[in-house]
Amino acid sequence: MRTYDYLIVGAGFFGSVLAERIANDLGKTVLVIDRRPHIGGNCYSETDQETGIEFHQYGTHIFHTSSQKVWQYISQFTDFNGYHHQVLTTHKNRVFQMPINLETINTFYGLNLRPYQVEDFLRAEIAKENIGNPQNLEEKAIALIGRPLYEAFIREYTIKQWNQDPKKLPVNIINRLPIRCSYNEDYFLDARWQGIPLEGYTKLFERLLNSANIDVETNCDYFEVRNELKYDKKLIYTGPIDRFFDYELGPLEWRSIELSKEVIEVEDYQGTSVMNYADLEQPYTRIHEPRHLHLERRYSKRKTLIFYETSKQAEGIDPFYPVSSEKNKNTLEKYKSMAKQVKNVVIGGRLGDYAYYDMDKAIAAALACYEKTIAKNQ
């Protein structure tokens, strides 16, 4: 077996960006392995055979960033289309804009408030409950936006997401609930750049990993092959941190999602890429319709593709979202101290850090890791 300078576990953004830098900037050899049958990690995209529509297998991914460094780096590997994300939510069979903005408030209350009147209006709504020191998620949300908006848009959606009564969820799950006092519906309002890779995410990952210094093996679980793999310098591990230490301190808790696919014989099912469902009446949290991500493409006019998203405990399925609790925070701190003691191993990425990262943050973290830890120690 060939000996490599570096072994990278995980072909998501964190692992692939590091592989690209090590191979092309340092000129060292890298073996990238992933236990899934494909590269790209959670951002993986593929084309549905029946409809010809490209979809994101692990949920709709919209690239957005305000980091010039990340934008310049990633733009070497792909162009982006001009997609701007908008989120809508269905409540009692009516559609509202998210996050809550002037249109949401005016439609919901049957008002015609001006932007400068929103603050006073919400203050009066919040004052009706008089919650001084919120003790749980429900009280916190009511203290931020008042009861009617909370009950319409937050309460049942949160129950579906976390499978828990918001009264039992910790207050620190939300710090703020963004309210926009304008009609602006751009979901990533602060992002200087956003879009979807013109040729899809998988093509972008193929280009990142396209180097004579990089070999890739998919369907390859690190824990099944770790004793056979040969590398000289460093292991870069982007899987779950608790798994790396064989759950010595117990497992960390994760939430996950399940997506179930349906082909529908109409050109356009819902008129947008992501529709949230705020009520318990529908068991799913969202419906994704990926054709709307690529308005520049000519997809079939006869069929469309949708995915129902349901929130799940991550047992037996891929972990997606860390669960914010004191217990998990304490366990993570201990695992992180253990990680510091292990020589020649970098543990990172969203699974390694037990954190939610947007794609640009995962890329930024990989670039920083390369500059501060890998390139410096050559």
Ligand X SMILES: Cc1cc2nc3c(=O)[nH]c(=O)nc-3n(C[C@H](O)[C@H](O)[C@H](O)COP(=O)(O)OP(=O)(O)OC[C@H]3O[C@@H](n4cnc5c(N)ncnc54)[C@H](O)[C@@H]3O)c2cc1C
Task: Give residues in contact with ligand X (CB under 6 A).
Answer: 9-15, 33-36, 41-43, 58-59, 61-63, 221-223, 238-239, 257, 320, 349-351, 357-360, 362
Which token pair is 129? 């409950």
User: What residues pair up with 277 in beta bridges, in sequence order?
Assistant: 90
Count the alpha carbons within 13 Å of 6 in the hemisphere toward its beta carbon.
Answer: 28
Question: Considering beta carbons, is residue 11 or 278 the nearer one to ligand X?
Answer: 11
Task: Kindly list the distances between the CA atom of residue 84 and the CA atoms of 2, 194, 274, 287, 292, in Å, as whole numbers in the listed order.
Answer: 45, 7, 12, 18, 10
Nearest-approach distance from CB 348 to ligand X, in angstroms: 7
Distance in Å, CB of 220 to ligand X, minimum: 6
Q: How far is the CB of 357 from ligand X (least distance, A)?
A: 4
Q: How far is the CB of 281 from ligand X (least distance, A)?
A: 23
Residues in contact with 247: Cβ distance below 8 Å, sequence separation at least 6, in sequence order? none
How far apart (Å, rounded) are the C-alpha atoms in residues 331 and 248? 10
What is the smallest separation between the CB atom of 347 and ligand X, expressed in angstroms? 11
Residue 339's CB: how many other CB atoms inside 10 A?
18
Token readout for 70 is 């990340």
Neighbouring C-beta atoms of residue 336, cutoff 10 Å: 14
Distance CA 172, CA 325 (A): 9
